Amino acid sequence: MSSEKRMPRWAWQRRKEDLSDELEAHLRLAVADRVARGENPEAARVAALKEMGNVPLIADVTRRQWGWEWAEHLWQDLRYALRQLRKSPGYTVTALLTLTLAIGANTAIFGLMYSLLLRSLPVYRPDQLVQIKLRIGPAQSTHEPNAMVSGGIYDALVANQRVFSGMCSWAAWPLDLHDSDGTRRIPTARATGGCFEMLGVHPALGRLFSAVDDQPGGAPEGYPLVLGYDYWRTRFGADPHVLGRVLNFHSGFGGKETTGVIIGVMEPGFESINVGDRPWIYAPSEIGDKDDRHGLQSSDQTLLARLKDGVAPVTAQAQIDPLFGAKVKAEKYQYWTVSNGSFQRTSEAHLVVVPARTGFSFLREYYTKPLYLIGGMVGLSLLVACAYLATLAATRALARRRELALRIALGASRIRVIRQLCCESLLLALTGSLLGVFFAWISERALLRFITEPGSDPPALGTAPDGAVMLFTVGLLVVTVLLAGVGPAWRASRVDPVSDIKEGESSVLSRRGSRPGALLIPIQIGFSLTIVVIAALMASTVARLLAVDPGFRTSGVTFFHADFSPRSTDYKIPAPLILALLDRIRQFPGVESASISQAHHLQPAFYLQEAMSKTLSGETRKDDMLPSLSVTPQYFATLGIPIINGRDFTVGDKAGAPKVCILSRSAAEYFFPGQNALGATLQLQDGDKYKPTWVIGVVGDTLYSGFRDHARRILYQSYLSGDTWNSGGDVSVRATTTTAAVDAVRGAFHDLAPDVALDRPETMADLVSHSIGRERLLAVLSSFFGVLTLGLTAIGLYGLLSYAVVRRRPEIGVRMALGASPASVVRMILRDAVLLVLPGILLGAAGAWASTRLLGNLLFGVKPLDPAICAASVLLLAVAVALACVLPARRAASVQPMDALRRE
């Protein structure tokens, strides 16, 4: 046995062989010694062996000196567990699938929650950051302060404050970049010069701009621009010579044609102070319109600051609020505020300083509650999965009672047996976690798609594997092993070697055995019922939202937002350009109608108009907040809104022509009750006076901002008459296919207005699904987990009942021999089931009651504890339970008394 010829092996194996070589050498030396002393070789060998003792045992004891005994045992346990798992592939696959789904879903949801709600901004000392918000009205009002403030507030504070070591005003507003194939809107962060220094972020290449770079007009060669790391890699191929390149663009809303020069690339990891935002370019704040940047009126900035050491947010607020108050007073500025349903002006406003370790995100407002709900739900699912696995593990261990008893009788310690049993669940949980992490990675993308705004990229959330998320997954793993492994193993290891070996299988049948999972089943049923009720409520909400008639058609329309800033003067877009574009779009094949409007249906934002009328009875009717849409001819045809009376706008309704408007039916009925609104006069506020406007048409009522909206009074004005307040225009096209619409609009703009930036298309279907995105997200996930947990619970119950039938076979046999009918045996089994299910339903009712409190305003058209929904959920549960009972009950009823008794 020459070791030189042996293949290279594991060091451990080599060492083991080395030891056995050594002991063999010892034996050879001893034999040789005895032979040299004149003994017969045969006798010498026997004597030497006898003197040496038990060689494998010596090797064992010696190996123990190496201090690796535990690893050796672990390896043995793992191999043993693998063998056990291979022996029951059905169990292994179910368990793995369950764990993958449960751990994966938990990881995905936690990843999303973590990156949206919990993660610190990736900047220097994020704990020192605060956000400055604006509260319009009295300081002690309980209204949530506005997160968006105006650039004028930054100006008021930056020079005179003494509480911050730095300040940063940040606005996300795109630049319209001109390049070889037209003009594109580039997501841009407009940051004040001191932002990057204050945040403590660094360039990956070149430099970042600083306070001196943030000047009106920029440097001679253009405004300094910093590229986002991903944008640099994807659009510039990570070109290191990108520095100094000049870009031509229009700075958007109220801005101008200008140039910028690339001075650096942002470090990877940092995107924005707005969590989920991923700007492609960082530009200095002065790049935009002067009034917009320095005035008090436009609230488009997020204002962050870094507290000086030892300054509390309250102290900072007390110092900066007077500075702001002085500015408002000096400029005699008045904020609009809505109180009791009408607009009022007030000069009272206050700044609020709040901690901003995690930055700021609009998404939080909408998704915090759903995410916590979903998080709780998938957490419950994991517990149900653990309970299910624990029940299975316990049943398996009971079936192996005899084997375990034999092991203990042969000298295995109880700890060792527990360790062996736990190894199985550890192996399962470990594999399940790995698969789960992969599943999470896939499902996170799907989740992000639910919360993506139409026409934009998914939010930059939770895409990178993160230490905290991994830690969470490991935590789940530990919990799983503890719940599904250690507990059952502990109980299973309590065997009495003598009686268990003697009785063998029959000990499984004896009545004294504990019933694994008898406690867990009610909990599983409770959790499942809770999730099923949530699922039913959310599904019914989605169904009811989709059943709402919005008053316009929800298919076939595609919207494009175009920024006409380069062509507009004073926010007015020339009518000839509009008409030419619409004409060209309509010529494309597949296009049925096209229109341009300012704002459109299914958008969260409104333009509001104050309007007044005199009714026949002489009463004055006023609406301070009448949603107003400016539209070109064909808007109603495109959206599919019926014209009830009168006519659509025409190209003749232009600037200089008599002012005309169209009203929704409710608006017509409100302003002109009991009369024909056509030809009537509506007074529209224009500055300080009212302008008479003739009503030329009445259209059907529609929703506006979403499906939870009610039919509103809406005012439509003629886009061509120049009643616009914004250089942006929304092109809407009804076409046979989305592709036809996209080709038509892209083609028309490419030919007639290549300098106008077009946003990506948003289809009506996208807008509809986004407007019910939260509800759909909850409905889909809760249905999925409802089915999963219900399935696991039913399988668990089935297993438990089947086991009970096997266990009670002799008893059933005796009962039947004494005259019990199969029906009464079935009743007995069902009574067992009901005893498990009833407490579960009570628990589920409590869970549903508590969790539906949280659903609150997410519901639509159903009450949190809708009787029909609750009844249906319980019914569904009952069906699942009944299915789980059928087979065991039948098996019990078919017990042959003689058979059962003979086995006893």
Which residues bind to other proteins, rule: CB under 8 A?
Answer: 18-19, 21-23, 25-26, 28-30, 32-33, 51-54, 57-67, 410-411, 413
Residue in 588, 552, 568 with CA at minimum distance from that of residue 712: 552
* CA 330 distance to own-chain centroid: 45
Smallest distance from the beta carbon of 227 to other proteins, in angstroms? 58
Smallest distance from the beta carbon of 282 to other proteins, in angstroms? 60
**Which residue's CB is nearer to other proteins, number 63 or number 184?**
63
Smallest distance from the beta carbon of 495 to other proteins, in angstroms? 17
Smallest distance from the beta carbon of 17 to other proteins, in angstroms? 12
Smallest distance from the beta carbon of 500 to other proteins, in angstroms? 19
Q: What is the 3-state secondary structure (H, E, C) of 645-656?
A: EECCCCCCCCCC
Cα separation, 592 vs 392, whole angstroms: 62
Q: How far from 30 is each of 22, 50, 55, 717, CA to CA, in Å?
A: 12, 11, 14, 112
Smallest distance from the beta carbon of 22 to other proteins, in angstroms? 5
Continuous segment of H or E residues that includes residue 170: strand 164-172
**Which residue's CB is nearer to other proteins, number 38 or number 53?**
53
Exposure class string for 623-651: b at 16+ Cβ within 10 A, else e: bebbbbbbbbbbbbbbbbbeeebbebbee
- The DSSP secondary structure of 224-284, one letter per residue, reads EEEE-HHHHHHHSTT-GGGTT-EEEEE--TT--EEEEEEEEEEPTT---SBTT---SEEEE
Smallest distance from the beta carbon of 60 to other proteins, in angstroms? 7
Give the orientation angle of helix 362-399 with respect to helix 773-807, to 10 degrees.
10
**Which residue's CB is nearer to other proteins, number 60 or number 899?**
60
Q: What is the 3-state secondary structure (H, E, C) of 348-401?
A: CEEEEEEECCCCECHHHHHHHHHHHHHHHHHHHHHHHHHHHHHHHHHHHHHHCH
**Which residue's CB is nearer to other proteins, number 119 or number 407?**
407
- Tokens 């060669």, residue? 221
How does strand 715-718 pair with strand 660-664? antiparallel
Smallest distance from the beta carbon of 493 to other proteins, in angstroms? 16
**Which residue's CB is nearer to other proteins, number 58 or number 637?**
58
**Which residue's CB is nearer to other proteins, number 50 or number 87?**
50
**Which residue's CB is nearer to other proteins, number 59 or number 580?**
59
Residue 888 tokens, joined:
């065991």
Smallest distance from the beta carbon of 51 to other proteins, in angstroms? 8
Q: Work out the angle at residue 588's Cα, subtended by the Cα atoms of residues 582 and 592, and round it to the nearest 5 degrees.
A: 70
Cα separation, 685 vs 257, whole angstroms: 34
Smallest distance from the beta carbon of 6 to other proteins, in angstroms? 14
Cα separation, 723 vs 654, whole angstroms: 10
Cα separation, 559 vs 768, whole angstroms: 12
**Which residue's CB is nearer to other proteins, number 29 or number 655?**
29
**Which residue's CB is nearer to other proteins, number 60 or number 221?**
60
List the beta strands (DSSP E) in 724-846. 728-735, 757-758, 762-763
The count of other CB atoms within 10 Å of the CB of residue 299 is: 16
Cα separation, 719 vs 655, whole angstroms: 9
- The DSSP secondary structure of 881-895, one letter per residue, reads HHHHHHHHHHHHHT-
Q: How far from 38 is each of 24, 35, 41, 44, 558, CA to CA, in Å?
A: 21, 5, 9, 9, 106
Residue 310 tokens, joined:
């030892």
Cα separation, 728 vs 751, whole angstroms: 19
**Which residue's CB is nearer to other proteins, number 409 or number 430?**
409
- The DSSP secondary structure of 671-691, one letter per residue, reads HSTTS--TT-EEEEEETTEEE
Smallest distance from the beta carbon of 904 to other proteins, in angstroms? 36
How does strand 257-266 pair with strand 223-227? parallel
**Which residue's CB is nearer to other proteins, number 53 or number 618?**
53
**Which residue's CB is nearer to other proteins, number 64 or number 329?**
64
Smallest distance from the beta carbon of 61 to other proteins, in angstroms? 5
Smallest distance from the beta carbon of 205 to other proteins, in angstroms? 52
**Which residue's CB is nearer to other proteins, number 58 or number 780?**
58
**Which residue's CB is nearer to other proteins, number 58 or number 643?**
58
Cα separation, 405 vs 494, whole angstroms: 9
Cα separation, 853 vs 539, whole angstroms: 17
Query: Residue 37 gets which letter from DSSP?
Result: T
Cα separation, 881 vs 875, whole angstroms: 10
Q: Work out the angle at residue 534's Cα, subtended by the Cα atoms of residues 531 and 537, and round it to the nearest 5 degrees.
A: 150
Smallest distance from the beta carbon of 504 to other proteins, in angstroms? 23
**Which residue's CB is nearer to other proteins, number 15 or number 691?**
15
Q: How far from 903 is each of 232, 505, 592, 895, CA to CA, in Å?
A: 78, 11, 82, 12
Smallest distance from the beta carbon of 37 to other proteins, in angstroms? 12
**Which residue's CB is nearer to other proteins, number 23 or number 323?**
23
Smallest distance from the beta carbon of 73 to other proteins, in angstroms? 13
Cα separation, 183 vs 175, whole angstroms: 10
Smallest distance from the beta carbon of 415 to other proteins, in angstroms? 12
Q: Which one-letter amino acid corresponds to residue 147?
A: A
**Which residue's CB is nearer to other proteins, number 47 or number 865?**
47
**Which residue's CB is nearer to other proteins, number 293 or number 407?**
407
- The DSSP secondary structure of 124-154, one letter per residue, reads S-GGGEEEEEEEES-TT--SPPBS-B-HHHH
Positive or negative: CA dihedral 7, 9, 15, 20: negative
Q: Work out the angle at residue 418's Cα, subtended by the Cα atoms of residues 416 and 424, and round it to the nearest 5 degrees.
A: 110
Smallest distance from the beta carbon of 53 to other proteins, in angstroms? 5
